Amino acid sequence: MTAADTVLAGLDDIRPHLEEFYKDLHANPELGLAEHRTAARVAERLRESGYDVIDGIGGTGVVGVLSNGDGPTVLLRADMDALPVKEDTGLPYASTATTTDEDGRQQPLMHACGHDVHMTCMLGFAHLMAQAKDVWQGTLVPLFQPSEENSAGADAMVRDDLAGRIPRPDVAFAQHVLPYPAGYVGVRPGPFFAAADSLRVTLYGRGGHGSMPQATVDPVVMAAMCVLRLQTIVSRELPPTTPAVVTVGSVQAGASSNVIPATAVILVNIRTYDEDTRRQVLDAVRRCVNAEAAASGAPREPEIERFNVFPPTLNDADVTGRLAPAFKARFGDDFHTIEMLTASEDFSLIPDAFDAPFAYWGIGGIDPGLYAKAVDNGTVHQDVPVNHSPRFAPVVQPTLDTGIAALTVAALEWLG
């Protein structure tokens, strides 16, 4: 019997309670930096399992520490925040929660990205490791991060002296439930998640009457030309083998059909995998936007504001090289080398604060039968709900068991 077998032998006893805990988290989502109920429940469970708990880091961040003799220190992260999405899963434990935004409007809330899965797996793993201290030694640090979706939580924890408040990890891990069949585990060395940069571009024209366009500089036309021009950056300025995405997600201008407005605002999202490409694309966006404004005779240059900035997630080759065979031995044919994904993460800011190597992997959460049928029909993109969809609902099992086992195998590869 392996050390992982010994730790996971206790899973049968806690599985029903974990599943109920997961459903409670799912039904009670909270937005980033407002995860007060969530953080309190997480801290309570860690204390019950015997961990020293430090809470309130970066606002609502929670960290547990369990020392068990001499050995490496392993940090594992789960994120806690939900999204302003109205749930459409039909589940009996579906969220009906709402919140009031800064404009006083009611917003629905949903765990549409699976962070409830991440927290439940981490708590199950943490409890099992605390019950099997005779098969490992070192220090275990489960960390629960707020506000991953807004790229604010990891930075908030680091700025709140995270490095001075917890043991320095020798290695760090994180996992994410993804739209693959439940039971799937996948990791890769090097680039995994993309860097992300969002830009708010304000274009300045000269407003006037819709019947007298000659007296105006039309920012709507300017914005339309920018949208088209930005689509050429990836297709005409980058090598075909260099992955990148430039998306215009919003165009806002005017409020009347016969009034040419004075300004237009476009929101741009950029995904890249290395810093050279990142700089090239950001510079190209600025060049294209400024050129279109000049071509239109704009009275002033555009303003470009950068926000929601995520670093690339670059898995350490040595850590991944050690982790992959351990996963293969545990999960067999369910283990895969996962492809690069254009989603983004702020997790790497935490190990970077300690100059610690890390690995990040994915687990599946989709009903295997539904996924197989979609593959057979060639309709995976149409029929399999993805993260952030109002229909995204990981099946409870074997998703939770897989996530707990993956965390256990990874931690024991260093602590066992």
Q: Is the pLDDT of residue 102 over 80?
A: no
Tell whether 298 and 379 lie within a shared domain. Answer: no
Domain range spanning residue 384? 3-193+312-415
Q: For 371-401, what is each residue's pLDDT tens digit?
A: 999 999 999 999 999 999 999 999 999 999 9
Q: For 311-338, what is each residue's pLDDT tens digit?
A: 999 999 999 999 999 999 999 999 999 9
Tell whether 136 and 118 lie within a shared domain. Answer: yes
> What residues form DSSP beta bridges with 271?
196, 245
Tell whether 141 and 33 lie within a shared domain. Answer: yes
Alpha carbon 390 to its chain centroid, in Å, reads 16
Closest CA to 340 of 266, 408, 274, 287: 274
d(CA 285, CA 155): 26
Q: Is the pLDDT of residue 225 over 90?
A: yes
Tell whether 164 and 35 lie within a shared domain. Answer: yes
Tell whether 236 and 352 lie within a shared domain. Answer: no
Binding residues, by number, are 113, 115, 149, 176
Tell whether 99 and 149 lie within a shared domain. Answer: yes
* Under 8 Å between Cβ of 30 and 42: no
Task: List, in order, residues 6 or more apart from 125 with CB less than 8 Å away.
Answer: 76, 142, 403, 404, 407, 408, 411
Tell whether 405 and 337 lie within a shared domain. Answer: yes
d(CA 320, CA 316): 6
| Span 258-285, average pLDDT | 98
d(CA 294, CA 220): 14
Tell whether 85 and 205 lie within a shared domain. Answer: no
Q: Is the pLDDT of residue 103 over 90?
A: no
Look up the CATH number of the domain holding residue 341: 3.40.630.10
* Under 8 Å between Cβ of 371 and 380: yes
Work out the pLDDT band at 119, boundaries 50, 70, 90: very high
Q: For 35-87, what is each residue's pLDDT tens digit?
A: 999 999 999 999 999 999 999 999 999 999 999 999 999 999 999 999 999 99
CB atoms within 10 A of CB 324: 20
* Under 8 Å between Cβ of 192 and 341: yes
The per-residue pLDDT for 82 is 98
Choosing from 270, 292, 309, the residue where a domain stops is: 309
CB atoms within 10 A of CB 124: 29
Tell whether 300 and 228 lie within a shared domain. Answer: yes
Task: Using the structure block, give the residue that is written with the tokens 């590869």.
Answer: 413
Q: Mean pLDDT across the chain, nearest whole number? A: 97
Choosing from 293, 309, 325, the residue where a domain stops is: 309
Binding residues for Mn(2+), by number, are 113, 115, 149, 176
**Cis ω on the peptide bond leading into residue 385 (within 30° of 0)?**
no
Choosing from 276, 309, 342, the residue where a domain stops is: 309
| Span 330-359, average pLDDT | 98
Work out the pLDDT band at 221, boundaries 50, 70, 90: very high
Tell whether 10 and 137 lie within a shared domain. Answer: yes
d(CA 50, CA 66): 7
* Under 8 Å between Cβ of 101 and 107: yes
Tell whether 73 and 19 lie within a shared domain. Answer: yes
Q: For 21-39, what is each residue's pLDDT tens digit?
A: 999 999 999 999 999 999 9
* Under 8 Å between Cβ of 230 and 248: yes
What is the pTM for the complete model shown?
A: 0.94
Q: Is the pLDDT of residue 105 over 90?
A: no
Look up the CATH number of the domain holding residue 277: 3.30.70.360
Q: How many domains does the chain have?
A: 2
387-411 per-residue burial string, b: 16 or more CB within 10 A, e: under 16? bebbebbbbbebbbbbbbbbbbbbb
d(CA 204, CA 229): 17
Q: Is the pLDDT of residue 104 over 90?
A: no
Tell whether 268 and 384 lie within a shared domain. Answer: no
Q: What percent of the chain has pLDDT over 70?
A: 100
Q: For 123-150, what is each residue's pLDDT tens digit?
A: 999 999 999 999 999 999 999 999 999 9
The per-residue pLDDT for 402 is 98
